[in-house]
């Protein structure tokens, strides 16, 4: 995925499985308005049954009814376009909720979710995971939102669908001067399109802006404290919120934790190590099965064959999803997508098996899921939002010469993903807006305990980031919980130990002992 500063959170595994099974079988955005009375904290939300997701949210059908027969409700919250001018123009922030299912006198308040990215639509993701959070719903209204620049919340627009198809066919790991020039030219065209179509939004999509939106949301929802569940990039957003509003933090959980001490280069290198670790785990698992692993005789053989496949695809792509071909870049992003969840490993095995025989459909379907492309050829705006938010946040700007110097280090970290993630660092070159900082400030003195959950096998947010988050939050704030598992995140693994610890904290305020390990 050449234009993402770091690999973003993948599509929910359930969504990817639905897309693959189909293959194998054959609310907001009112930018430029002004608040009626000038006090946005006093606005009243108009909750209504949710419509079908917009193309920018990923399309599809309206969310299914809740198990108790109720419906998901959506509303639009007005927020300042520019938080430095809070009385000026506003944008609409799209919200979704499922009201608490338990007794009214047991209700704690709202539990706000951010599922990561940056650039993921919470309005579409929360219903996809609704059953996983049914227990939490007994005492909370479950709430999520499309952060500014995402989905229905004044979405950033860059390239159109046809242009994105071409963009994702490019060679994102150049081997010579001509290919390097092509990559940088494509990056420049992408970034120029973002500026052309979204000039007003680009200076106003930083994580600090989204954190201020969440505090406004807390007030509009009627909560004294923000009870929060952040996943992946959502942990960075939660940490920034805690830094800005430490006294307003309620019960908060950070799962699949971003290392807040790293800059963009360090984050990309960390992901190279994390995805390689996950691929090692996949390879060992495949050859340990009772039946022969169809993609290699030993774990090293599995990885060697994958590396050879990618080199072969660099020279000669194979048919993918017509009329597109499976390129080296598409195969790499498809493999990365499959490592976000152990549930997808069987599809990786089948996709590799087919690709070795010249059929790239499964790996391309996985790549499409990562890039936000639907079966109808329409893309969500996750790529545009991801790049825009990362570039607004990250101060460093990297050019091709810098990447070339760093390639040996990235290749040592991962023979499969090193080049791919190293070259992703050029995504903010010539970006129209300066980045905010080297890395986010999440220090939160005076905040209550925050439960920080790290997964030892997490590819996208490597386990080491959990300890770094605990330390950065400051003494007495972060409480670390370790899950010895696979995939991105811990709670949605359905591990009973993790579930009991998180549920006990959010529902009853029982903070687990720091250093607890679940396996």
Say if residue 405 is exposed, middle or buried (CB neighbours under 10 Å; 0-12, 13-18, 19+): exposed
Can 402 be counted among the known catalytic residues?
no
Can 232 be counted among the known catalytic residues?
yes
Supply angle C-alpha 473, 392, 455, rounded to 5: 40
Residue 275: enclosing H or E segment and its boundaries? helix 264-288
Find the radius of gyration of the CA atoms of the chain: 22
Which of these is catalytic: 458, 492, 493, 503? 458
Which of these is catalytic: 488, 492, 493, 503? 488
Q: How far is it, in rounded angstroms, from Cα 209 to Cα 193?
A: 22
Residue 369 contacts residue 341 (beta carbons within 8 Å)? no
Residue 75: enclosing H or E segment and its boundaries? strand 73-80
Q: How far is it, in rounded angstroms, from Cα 75 to Cα 449?
A: 31
SS3 track for 15-49: HHHHHHHHHHCCCCCCCCECCCCCCHHHCCCCCEE
**Closest by CA position to 345, among listed 209, 241, 238, 488:** 488
| Complete DSSP assignment for 301-335 | HHHHHHHHHHHHHHHS-EE-STT-EE-HHHHHHHH
Say if residue 131 is exposed, middle or buried (CB neighbours under 10 Å; 0-12, 13-18, 19+): exposed
Which residues lie across from 112 on neighbouring strands?
A: 143, 228
Which of these is catalytic: 101, 121, 232, 427? 232
Can 209 be counted among the known catalytic residues?
no
**Could you tell me how far CA 29 lies from the centroid of its own chain?**
21
**Closest by CA position to 417, among listed 307, 316, 259, 312:** 307
Long-range residue pairs from 13-19, CB within 8 A, at least 24 positions apart, any chain: 13/340, 13/341, 13/343, 13/344, 13/492, 14/128, 14/129, 15/128, 15/369, 16/337, 16/341, 16/344, 16/347, 16/366, 16/369, 17/343, 17/344, 17/347, 19/365, 19/368, 19/369, 19/375
- Look at residue 3 and give its three-state secondary structure: coil
Residue burial 237-274, b: 16+ Cβ < 10 Å; e: rest? bbbbbbbbbbebbbbbbbbbbbbbbbebbebbbbbbbb
DSSP label at residue 289 = S
| Tokens found for residue 322 | 């017509």
Which residues are identified as catalytic? 232, 458, 488
């Amino acid at each position: 995925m050449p234009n993402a500063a770091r690999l973003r959170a993948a599509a929910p595994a359930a969504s990817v499985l639905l897309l693959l099974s189909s293959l194998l079988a054959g609310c907001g955005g009112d930018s430029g308005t002004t608040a009626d009375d000038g006090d946005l904290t006093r606005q009243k939300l108009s909750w209504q049954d949710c419509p079908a997701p917009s193309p920018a949210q990923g399309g599809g059908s309206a969310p299914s009814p809740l198990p108790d027969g109720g419906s998901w409700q959506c509303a639009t919250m007005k927020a300042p376009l520019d938080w430095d001018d809070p009385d000026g123009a506003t944008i609409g922030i799209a919200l979704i909720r499922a009201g608490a299912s338990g007794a009214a006198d047991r209700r704690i308040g709202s539990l706000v979710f951010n599922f990561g990215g940056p650039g993921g639509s919470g309005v579409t993701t929360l219903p996809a995971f609704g059953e996983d959070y049914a227990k939490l719903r007994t005492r909370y209204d479950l709430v999520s939102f499309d952060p500014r620049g995402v989905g229905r919340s004044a979405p950033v627009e860059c390239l159109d669908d046809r242009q994105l198809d071409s963009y994702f066919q490019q060679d994102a790991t150049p081997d010579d001067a001509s290919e390097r020039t092509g990559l940088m030219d494509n990056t420049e065209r992408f970034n120029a399109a973002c500026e052309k179509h979204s000039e007003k939004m680009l200076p106003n999509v930083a994580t600090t802006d989204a954190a201020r939106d969440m505090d406004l949301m807390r007030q509009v929802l009627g909560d004294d404290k923000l009870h929060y569940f952040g996943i992946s990039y959502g942990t960075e957003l939660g940490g920034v919120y805690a830094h800005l509003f430490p006294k307003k933090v309620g019960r908060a959980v950070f799962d699949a934790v971003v290392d807040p001490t790293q800059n963009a280069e360090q984050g990309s290198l960390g992901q190279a190590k994390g995805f390689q670790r996950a691929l090692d785990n996949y390879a060992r698992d495949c050859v340990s099965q009772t039946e022969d692993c169809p993609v290699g005789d030993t774990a090293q053989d599995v990885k060697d064959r994958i590396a050879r496949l990618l080199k072969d695809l660099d020279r000669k792509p194979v048919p993918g999803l017509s009329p597109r071909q499976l390129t080296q870049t598409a195969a790499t992003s498809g493999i990365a997508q499959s490592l976000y969840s152990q549930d997808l490993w069987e599809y990786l095995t089948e996709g590799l098996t087919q690709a070795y025989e010249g059929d790239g459909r499964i790996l391309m379907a996985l790549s499409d899921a990562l890039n936000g492309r639907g079966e109808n050829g329409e893309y969500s705006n996750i790529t545009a939002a991801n790049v825009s938010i990362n570039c607004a946040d990250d101060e460093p700007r990297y050019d091709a010469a810098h990447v070339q110097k760093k390639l040996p280090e990235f290749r040592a970290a991962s023979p499969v993903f090193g080049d791919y993630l190293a070259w992703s660092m050029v995504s903010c070159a010539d970006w129209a807006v300066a980045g905010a900082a080297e890395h986010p400030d999440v220090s939160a003195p005076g905040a209550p305990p925050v439960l920080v959950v790290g997964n030892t096998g997490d590819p996208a947010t490597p386990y080491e980031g959990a300890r770094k988050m605990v330390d950065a939050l400051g003494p007495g704030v972060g409480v670390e919980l370790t899950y010895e598992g696979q995939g991105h995140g811990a709670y949605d693994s359905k591990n009973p130990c993790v579930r009991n610890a998180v549920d006990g904290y959010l529902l009853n305020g029982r903070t687990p002992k720091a250093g607890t390990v679940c396996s």
